[in-house]
Amino acid sequence: MKKQKICLAITALIMSSTLYAETTTNPLEWKSEDGNQSFKVGGVLRFNQRYEQWDESKNRGIGKFDFDIFRLDFTGKYGDFYLNASPIIQDQEMTSIEKAYVGYKIDEHQSVEAGLVYKPFALYPYPQNGWTYHLPFFLGYGNNIAPGVNWNFVNPDWDIKLGYYPRMLDADLRYSPESATYDDLSENHLPFQAAYQNEKQNQFNARVAHKFDTNQWGKHEIGLSGAVSELHNVTTKKDGDYHAFGLHTNSNYDRWNLQSSVIHYKYDAENPEGVDSDRTLMGANGLTPAYFIASEGTVSSVNLAYTLPVKDFGKLKAIRFYNDYSYLDKEHSDWNASQMNTTGAMFIAKPFMVWADYTWAKNANILGGAQNGTGLSSGQNAKYSDQWLYRVNLNLGFSF
């Protein structure tokens, strides 16, 4: 089944690239003569290769490229209504949805969107430059969607987003991780996580960002974010609560980009007696095992990038160099902090894009911590606790 999916993806890729070469217009796009109606199909096919330091990894040796993802992007509009959807086929026969919503443009500055929408918070929607996701993503603050409604207000000075989400996206469709019950993560949980049965309900998000152009010193954005929700425990039938607050900046000067964020969060669960409420269970659609995070902590990140234009070198038009760093300070002072640093480059040669990442981390669930599911919680008395581990990753993508 997996091979059939990959073959279909490659066939679509070859067809689209052939058509792309034969015409200057996109064969997968339709527009009405007046421009008020349109529909477009795009997407990306990616392959991945990596080397990982720790003994248990199947990527200890350098082997062939593996299938990563095949994503289709559907966009369209009908007057003031619009559509945006991105279903994904992933490695290991997993499927997910990056987004899927319809929107209505109220006026020049306002719109409303309903469906599987992004939950706006801090650096949005991606909290890093590199292909390798960072700590904010694994805490639920990057590329995170849920069934709900968003209201957007955007003008040259302000970007304001408000959202309501009655429940979280089903675990088997999640592209990004979110808090979840052990039962919902039945495909990828670990036995010692069985007592953790909390899920978010009735979440509200708000993100307010101010944009300004200093002319001499470039364009900048500074913003505040907040989120609150009920935290329902399916065992005790009681509701705890969750809240988070964030501050972020995003600055562009010439070819440089500097991003930063600080997020403080807390999960206050109504667990059964004997269950450690200092830990919260997180998970997605099974590509990595479910894992614990500290129920309260502050995660900070600083990302720096420089885009170098390239001339007279075939399709290669630019190289974007970047360094992403994130740090999770846990409320328990005796728990080991989590850190990640990724240095890399993105080669832009449309329709091809290549990421080359070197990630160095400790007490992080995707680098060694996945062996025990505790990397983002205490990290103590576990294999690789407080040890720096590294991963080298190469990702090749073709977009159409």
- Which domains, and CATH codes, for the chain? 30-312+325-335 (2.40.160.10)
pTM, whole model, 2 decimals? 0.90
**Residue 330 binned pLDDT confidence (cut-offs 50, 70, 90):** very high
Confidence at residue 5, expressed as pLDDT on a 0 to 100 scale: 46
CA angle in degrees (0–180, nearest 5) for 158-160-161: 160
Residue that the structure tokens 């109606």 belong to: 37
**Residue 300 binned pLDDT confidence (cut-offs 50, 70, 90):** very high
- Cβ count near 314 (within 10 Å): 7
User: Looking at per-residue confidence, does 366 or 293 come out higher?
Assistant: 293
For the residues 260-285, what does the mean pLDDT come to? Answer: 94
Cα dihedral 372→373→378→380 (10° resolution): 0
Confidence at residue 281, expressed as pLDDT on a 0 to 100 scale: 92
Confidence at residue 81, expressed as pLDDT on a 0 to 100 scale: 97
- pLDDT, one tens digit per residue, over 128-147 is 999 999 999 999 999 999 99
For the residues 56-82, what does the mean pLDDT come to? Answer: 85
Confidence at residue 155, expressed as pLDDT on a 0 to 100 scale: 97
198 and 233 in contact (C-beta within 8 Å)? yes
User: Looking at per-residue confidence, does 63 or 198 come out higher?
Assistant: 198
**Residue 7 binned pLDDT confidence (cut-offs 50, 70, 90):** very low
Where b means 16+ CB within 10 Å and e means fewer, 199-214 reads: bbeebebbbbbebeee
- For residue 189, the surrounding DSSP H or E stretch is none
Most confident of 20-24, 44-48, 49-53: 44-48
What is the distance between the terminal CA atoms of the chain, rounded to a whole angstrom? 24
The pLDDT > 70 percentage for the chain reads 88
Most confident of 93-107, 285-299, 375-389: 93-107
- pLDDT, one tens digit per residue, over 334-386 is 888 999 999 999 999 999 999 999 999 999 888 876 666 776 887 666 778 88
Confidence at residue 73, expressed as pLDDT on a 0 to 100 scale: 96
